[in-house]
């Protein structure tokens, strides 16, 4: 799933298909709000870093947690200076280098 995730999101969004209908407007709004007061960010369930890459590029200090090791590998290529951790966050949080966080964001990590 990880290797084609970015393309799957793009395709589902273009079809306005669940769960990624209106994906870019939602991410743009999150980035707009967070960028007004830059600071350290925790993103549980960051996936391949589609949403967090924009904030990373704006100079935000990013810590991410994701269940998928392959998603973490892909995101590390996009954001090499971010603290990206493979972890099952249903077990709580791992020990993190950066804390406290200015923002905690989680876009599209929890689907019903």
CATH code, domain with 12: 3.40.50.150
Residue 67 lies in a domain: yes
Residue by residue, pLDDT tens for the chain (112 residues) are 667 666 666 666 666 666 666 777 777 888 888 888 878 999 998 888 888 888 999 888 999 999 989 999 999 999 999 999 999 878 888 888 777 899 988 876 765 5
Residue 57 lies in a domain: yes
Q: What is the pTM of this model?
A: 0.76
Q: How many other CB atoms are found less than 10 A from the CB of residue 97?
A: 9
Domain count across the chain? 1
Name the β-bridge partners of 65. Answer: 44, 85
Residue 9 lies in a domain: yes
Residue 84 lies in a domain: yes
Residue 99 lies in a domain: yes
Q: Which domain holds residue 92?
A: 2-104
Residue 74 lies in a domain: yes
């Amino acid at each position: 799933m990880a290797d084609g995730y970015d393309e799957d999101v793009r395709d589902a969004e273009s079809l306005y298909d669940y769960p990624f209908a209106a994906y870019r407007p939602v991410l743009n709004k999150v980035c707009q709000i967070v960028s007004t007061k830059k600071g350290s960010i925790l993103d549980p369930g960051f996936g391949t870093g589609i949403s967090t890459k924009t904030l990373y590029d704006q100079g935000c200090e990013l810590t991410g947690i994701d269940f998928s090791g392959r998603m973490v590998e892909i995101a590390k290529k996009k954001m090499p200076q971010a603290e990206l951790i493979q972890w099952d966050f249903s077990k709580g949080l791992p020990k993190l280098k950066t804390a406290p966080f200015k923002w905690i964001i989680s876009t599209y990590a929890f689907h019903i």
